[in-house]
Structure 1
Amino acid sequence: MKFVVSSTEILGHIQAISRVISNKNTLPILDNFLFELKNGELIATASDLETTLITTIPLDASEGDGVIALPAKILTDTLKEFPEQPLTFEVDPQTLAVKLSTENGKFSIPGQNGDDYPKNPEKGQDSVVNITVASEVLLKGVNKTLFATADDELRPVMNGIFIELNNNDLTFVASDAHKLVRYKRLDGRSEVESSFILPKKPASLLRNILPKEENPVLVEFDDKNAFFTLSNYKLICRLVEGKYPSYGSVIPTNNPFKLTIDRVELYNTLKRVSVFSNPASNLIKFELNNNELVVSAQDIDFSISARERLMCQYEGEALEIGFKSVFLLEILQNISSSNVVVALSDPTRAGLFLPYDNENADEDVLMLLMPMMINV
């Protein structure tokens, strides 16, 4: 088994899949990449049993077929140091040693039997749902919602992105019980009504590999696993089991008070004022009245406070409401329009944060943040 490959080509592919490898692997073989040479193609795999990422690497030349497992860290660290050049990999089938030859040197890397590498999950024959999604739609859905997922050991369903398919739209939802994001795409439709919960790790892997993808992505899932097929990559992941909470019921429907404000201006004000908030609560206060927003914070323990006034458009009664500044900043960071609309009803009910105008007519973005009690 022998192949010749460009150093930068192989490095780019294995760096992308190396993010799957866990520091706490239960099986030592999972600290390796699986290389399979078949019909003149090199297929590289990385896995942590829950998530598997497979890539096809173009070769300059190859001889024979076979499989070998190679240590991921040694291989990645070595390839990082090479300038662009052809590399020759030669595998000794008896000893499983791999000779890596360059124009000026030779490197010897110990391999392991590729047959010991765990097999990839198979799709369920009867229960598979599939949909073809534009790569830009999938990337945007993951980007808009990933930050709002939880880290809750007691409620694992909250630790992923809920993806809902139906005839009208494709919906991505994430929530950590303090904030909630719902991102709908009207140009992503499915003939079958179905849903699944995509865990956080494969979602962040998709976020890394999707920007380079130009073709639509085939998404297939059954009750246990999801399979994402891209041009040069295939991602397989175990889904989060359980029923996602009814997110629609927590979105308030009657929000008569509307605040419209410059998003960047509000963001920068919050960055300054939040320095003066109590580190334990991160509480900042909004005071709204007559097209004016006053943002304030204080930390009584250190006798510090801050208060800043902003001009805005406000329709509604005078209102005081508290929010956690960390969550508020995250929400504003993930809204892309220049102005943001905040829909409110009273200090005890969630505030809705909406883009003033969507970049795309087919998208519908809604972000929700629970308020905090203001100590008067």
Structure 2
Amino acid sequence: MKFTASTSTILKQISSLNGVIPSNPNLPILENFLFEIKEGNLKITASDLQTSIIAEVPVEADQDGSIAIPAKMLADTLKNLPEQPVTFEIDLETYTVSINSDNGLYKLAGENAEDFPEIPQLGRVDTMEIESNVLLDALGYTLFATSNDEMKPAMNGVFLNINSSNADFVASDSHRLVRYRRTDIQSEYETSIIIHKRALSLLKNNLPSEGEAVKIEFNDQNASFTFSNVQLICRLIDERFPDYENVIPLNNNNLVTLDRAAMLSCLKRIAIYANKSTNQVRFKIEGNEVVVSAEDIDFSNEAKERLYCEHEGDDLEIGFNAKFLIEMLNNIHSDKVTLKLSEPGMAGLMVPTEISEEEDLLMLVMPIMLHNYAY
């Protein structure tokens, strides 16, 4: 079997697949790309059994066939070749792969394509379409808040709940929760799925930033995302997501509006002086001023700064994990944010002041119990 394509064409496709190749796979065959040629079309597949990515590209081929090619060796070879046509010659009996360039010949040992695990076929599915830029926004707002705790598998992914009025993208790690709602995404039937964050991170890295339709198909076990010439198929998390609506407080009437960039810079400085195990920072809100402070008693470190704010409500003192606040602020694009607070022991909400009509973004963070100290 022989086919020809440019180095950049092949490299572009395998670069989008590289992230799914496991470093220490249970099945050695998963260290390979699966190359399948049919009627002049090359389909390249990479999989870790939980997530599979398939990319397609037209090539000049003399016959149909398939081969598994070592992913790292192939990627490293093509990265170091200049842009030019290369010819792959594959011996389907010995599984030897020869790559012919203008000035060189590179031989590597492939494997039998039949040993590559079968990619799930979804069969009967529910289908919907979302613009790629909308999906990128949803993933950008939620992925950072997913949990790493394998004892809470439902929180290891993003919960997608679609009904007749909106779609919610939700992520939580028990200490914080993000709900990103779109009123321009709807479905006649209510549907809920949980997609693992690893699959969504791979999807985010491959989605086009310009508005391109992404076809989403899913059944009880798997979900598929198709766009351009790429398809990502992943296994869903078969768990029940917590009832997030009941966690969101409704009576946070103490409103504090701050400049997002100023607050972010302040927290990055103050966090340096916080206790490294709790990352606790204190917000002392009085009138139109917020004093942000931190102290690490073990090392006699302390710092404080003042920020101007717009404040509606009573004076308040509350503590938060600085790391959580910094991540939240890094993933909000509004110039200003509003903290919606009630009492020192109750969860606080952070929302952007500027957002489009079809969007609603809410970030919840649990407080940290304050220990009194004085400057």
TM-score, normalising length: structure 1: 0.97
Report how far residue 58 of structure 1 moved: 3.1
Q: Which amino acid aligns with 2:245?
A: G
Matched-pair contact (CA < 8 Å) for 2:67–2:92: no
Query: Please, which of 274, 296, 299 is the counterpart of residue 299 of structure 1?
Result: 296
Matches of residues 12-161 of structure 1 in structure 2 within 5 Å?
12-59=12-59, 61-125=60-124, 128-161=125-158
Matched-pair contact (CA < 8 Å) for 2:133–2:212: no
Specify the SS of the correspondent of 1:280: coil
Alpha-carbon distance in structure 1 between the residues aligned to 2:253 and 2:298: 36
Specify the SS of the correspondent of 1:227: strand
Report how far residue 266 of structure 1 moved: 0.5
1:5 aligns with 2:5: yes
Specify the SS of the correspondent of 2:208: helix
Specify the SS of the correspondent of 1:211: coil
Alpha-carbon distance in structure 2 between the residues aligned to 1:265 and 1:211: 31
Q: How many residues align?
A: 372
Matched-pair contact (CA < 8 Å) for 1:183–1:366: yes
Report how far residue 215 of structure 1 moved: 2.6
Specify the SS of the correspondent of 1:112: coil
Q: After superposition, what is the alpha-carbon deviation per residue over 1:266-296, rounded to whole angstroms, capped at 9, x for unaligned? A: 1101111111111111100000011100000
Report how far residue 212 of structure 1 moved: 5.1
Alpha-carbon distance in structure 2 between the residues aligned to 1:137 and 1:357: 16
Match of 1:336 in 2: 333
Report how far residue 137 of structure 1 moved: 1.4
Specify the SS of the correspondent of 1:281: coil
Report how far residue 349 of structure 1 moved: 0.6
Report how far residue 95 of structure 1 moved: 1.4
Query: Please, which of 353, 362, 372 is the counterpart of residue 366 of structure 1?
Result: 362
Matches of residues 130-279 of structure 1 in structure 2 within 5 Å?
130-211=127-208, 214-279=211-276
Alpha-carbon distance in structure 2 between the residues aligned to 1:319 and 1:302: 27
Q: After superposition, what is the alpha-carbon deviation per residue over 1:314-340, rounded to whole angstroms, capped at 9, x for unaligned? A: 111110000000001000111110000
Alpha-carbon distance in structure 1 between the residues aligned to 2:188 and 2:135: 18
Report how far residue 75 of structure 1 moved: 0.5
Gaps of 5+ in 1: none
Q: After superposition, what is the alpha-carbon deviation per residue over 1:219-267, rounded to whole angstroms, capped at 9, x for unaligned? A: 1111111111112111110111111010000000011100011000011
Report how far residue 211 of structure 1 moved: 2.5
Report how far residue 361 of structure 1 moved: 2.2
Matched-pair contact (CA < 8 Å) for 1:41–1:58: yes
TM-score, normalising length: structure 2: 0.97
Matched-pair contact (CA < 8 Å) for 1:213–1:231: no
| RMSD over aligned Cα atoms | 1.0
Match of 2:313 in 1: 316
Q: Which moved more, 1:135-144 or 1:253-262?
A: 135-144
Q: After superposition, what is the alpha-carbon deviation per residue over 1:188-226, rounded to whole angstroms, capped at 9, x for unaligned? A: 122221010000111001111112564311111111111
Alpha-carbon spacing, 1:212–1:258, altered in 2? closer, same or farther (3 Å): closer
Instruction: Please list every run of at least 4 consecutive aligned residues from structure 1 whose deviation after the TM superposition is greater than 4 angstroms.
Output: none
Q: Which amino acid aligns with 2:190?
A: E
Q: Which amino acid aligns with 1:236?
A: I
Alpha-carbon distance in structure 1 between the residues aligned to 2:312 and 2:39: 67
Matched-pair contact (CA < 8 Å) for 1:180–1:368: yes
Alpha-carbon spacing, 1:64–1:124, altered in 2? closer, same or farther (3 Å): closer
Alpha-carbon distance in structure 1 between the residues aligned to 2:164 and 2:130: 14
Q: Which amino acid aligns with 1:10?
A: I
Alpha-carbon distance in structure 2 between the residues aligned to 1:106 and 1:6: 15
Match of 2:280 in 1: 283
Aligned-residue sequence identity (percent) comes to: 48
Alpha-carbon distance in structure 2 between the residues aligned to 1:37 and 1:305: 64
Q: Which amino acid aligns with 1:35?
A: F
Alpha-carbon distance in structure 2 between the residues aligned to 1:357 and 1:224: 37
Q: Which amino acid aligns with 1:374?
A: L
Specify the SS of the correspondent of 1:287: strand
Q: Which amino acid aligns with 1:362?
A: E
Q: Which amino acid aligns with 1:216?
A: A
Alpha-carbon distance in structure 2 between the residues aligned to 1:192 and 1:363: 21
Alpha-carbon spacing, 1:264–1:299, altered in 2? closer, same or farther (3 Å): same
Matched-pair contact (CA < 8 Å) for 1:137–1:188: no
Matched-pair contact (CA < 8 Å) for 1:129–1:192: no
Report how far residue 80 of structure 1 moved: 0.9
Alpha-carbon spacing, 1:212–1:71, altered in 2? closer, same or farther (3 Å): farther
Specify the SS of the correspondent of 1:19: helix
Q: Which moved more, 1:295-304 or 1:213-222?
A: 213-222
